[in-house]
């Protein structure tokens, strides 16, 4: 495991370019298994989660070129097995996205418990419900075993929750089911819409893209496709917070204005001077003020993936802010470490935290328990006096490419050890 040593107290300024959306890259790679023709994905994020997913495809029999680069080529003439490597599955929650393509091409799928952040608290029941509604049968055995010997069938399904990966699982399965399927209470996040557009390029009939009701005409022979991933708005928002919390300024390139709008709206409520200038998202030096209340929501609500970072920003804002993450609970628990940095926090319950600022933070050892709070703690350490040591850095590298090099390019004094 690696440790990031951070000397805080310096404003970070400069320019960064975000790569493709991590949350789109994983379902797009899974979608490549639906066709035997070559798929080319460009602007791929060079992160460890993408590498794990690519290696899962290799394990299943696909040819994958360009792992670790921004251009990945996938060709899957045949799948040689229906059980992805359990060791790799245990590192990646997104491995659940392989179930639909495996059922479509092999008639069965066996998946070990997926890993990722908080695996014990995040179920895949919505995914399984969708697959069962399309004719899959749950078999007895360890992990998740499903069978669809007669193929997947079109269906009309109302998802029990607007789960992003649950919607994507249903989309991937419906693409292989001959006929028209309808998914209601679907997630509307940009990466779900991006998967829909990629499936359409492959030859799937898709309508209702970006809405809560998606209709899929599946079962056609699918062909080749080439797609450039949309920029990662969560990464863009992360760099914006890093600049704002340290009293710096930044230009972020690569994110779509319509995605950044959701992020910028909350940053502006915290009195952060920011906005799109052409294709560039600019954050200027600001004096943050409390926002009263910030609540996460389903898209186009404020994304839960940024709630940890906004909580850190609130520690440097004048006044009191209530941060309410109604989607998840463990993100806020991970931020209890901020109290050890002298932040003024009051954890009301697993979903709500009151932050009073500004408080001068102090460096200390930090534990990166999950991807997003890990990046938030890096931001806190950059704003703090003294040295902090965050480990394991690999947790953050799952979603942020070249994190050490990018921090240094913005003026941070950081060292990777181990």
Q: For 262-293, give one letter per residue: b (16+ CB within 10 A) or e.
A: bbbebbebbbbebbbeeebbbbeebebbbbee
The CA angle 146-152-156, to the nearest 5 degrees, is 110
Residue reference for tokens 């959701």: 262
Closest CA to 393 of 366, 356, 360, 361: 366
Residue 5 CA: distances (Å) to CA of 1, 248, 410: 13, 20, 16
Q: Tokens in use for 149?
A: 């010997």
Pick the catalytic residue: 117, 232, 305, 325? 117
Neighbours of 313 (CB within 10 A): 29
Rg (CA), the chain: 21
Question: Which CA distances in Å does 71 have to 37, 68, 155, 344?
Answer: 17, 8, 35, 44
Per DSSP, 218 falls in state E
Distance CA 370, CA 169 (A): 23
| Alpha carbon distance 206, 214 (integer Å) | 7
Cβ neighbors of 289 (< 8 A, separation 6 or more) are: 270, 271, 317, 318, 319
| C-beta atoms surrounding 256 within 10 Å | 17
Can 82 be counted among the known catalytic residues?
no
Determine the Cα–Cα distance for residues 259 and 299; give it in Å rounded to an integer: 10
Whole-number Å distance between alpha carbons of 320 and 409: 33
- Do 39 and 226 contact (CB within 8 A), yes or no? yes
Distance set, CA 358 to CA 8, 10, 320, 344 (Å): 16, 16, 9, 9
Active site residues: 117
């Amino acid at each position: 495991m690696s440790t990031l040593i951070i000397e805080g107290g310096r404003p970070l300024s400069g320019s960064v370019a975000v790569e493709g959306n991590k949350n789109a890259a994983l379902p797009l790679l899974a979608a490549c298994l639906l066709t035997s023709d070559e798929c080319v994905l460009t602007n791929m994020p060079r992160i460890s989660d993408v590498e794990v997913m690519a290696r899962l495809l290799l394990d299943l029999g696909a040819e994958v070129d360009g792992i670790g680069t921004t251009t990945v080529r996938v060709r899957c003439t045949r799948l040689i097995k229906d059980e992805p490597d359990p060791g790799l599955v245990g590192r990646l929650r997104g491995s659940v996205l392989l179930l639909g393509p495996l059922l479509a091409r092999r008639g069965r799928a066996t998946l070990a418990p997926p890993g990722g952040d908080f695996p014990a608290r995040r179920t895949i029941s919505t995914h399984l419900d969708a697959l069962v509604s399309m004719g899959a049968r749950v078999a007895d055995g360890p992990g998740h075993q499903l069978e669809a010997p007669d193929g997947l069938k079109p269906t009309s399904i109302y998802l029990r929750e607007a789960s992003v990966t649950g919607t994507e699982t249903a989309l991937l399965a419906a693409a292989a089911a001959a006929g028209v399927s309808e998914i209601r209470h679907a997630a509307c996040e940009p990466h779900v819409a991006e998967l829909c557009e990629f499936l359409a390029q492959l030859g799937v009939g898709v309508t209702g893209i970006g809405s809560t009701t998606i209709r899929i005409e599946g079962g056609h022979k699918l062909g080749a496709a080439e797609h450039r991933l949309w920029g990662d708005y969560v990464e863009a928002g992360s760099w914006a917070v890093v600049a704002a919390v340290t009293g710096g300024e930044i230009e972020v390139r690569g994110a779509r204005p319509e995605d950044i709008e959701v992020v910028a709206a909350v940053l502006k409520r915290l009195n952060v001077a920011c906005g799109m200038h052409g294709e560039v998202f600019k954050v200027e030096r600001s004096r943050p003020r409390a926002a009263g209340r910030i609540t996460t929501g389903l898209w186009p609500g404020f994304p839960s993936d940024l709630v940890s970072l906004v909580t850190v920003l609130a520690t440097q804002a004048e006044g009191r802010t209530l941060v309410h993450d109604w989607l998840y609970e463990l993100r806020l628990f991970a931020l209890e470490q901020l109290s050890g940095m002298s932040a003024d926090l009051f954890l009301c319950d697993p979903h709500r935290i009151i932050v009073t600022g500004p408080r001068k933070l102090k460096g200390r050892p930090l534990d990166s328990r999950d991807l997003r709070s890990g990046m938030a703690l890096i931001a806190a350490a950059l704003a703090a006096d003294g040295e902090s040591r965050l480990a394991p850095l690999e947790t953050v590298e799952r979603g942020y490419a070249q994190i050490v090099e990018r921090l240094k390019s913005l003026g941070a004094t950081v060292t990777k050890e181990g």
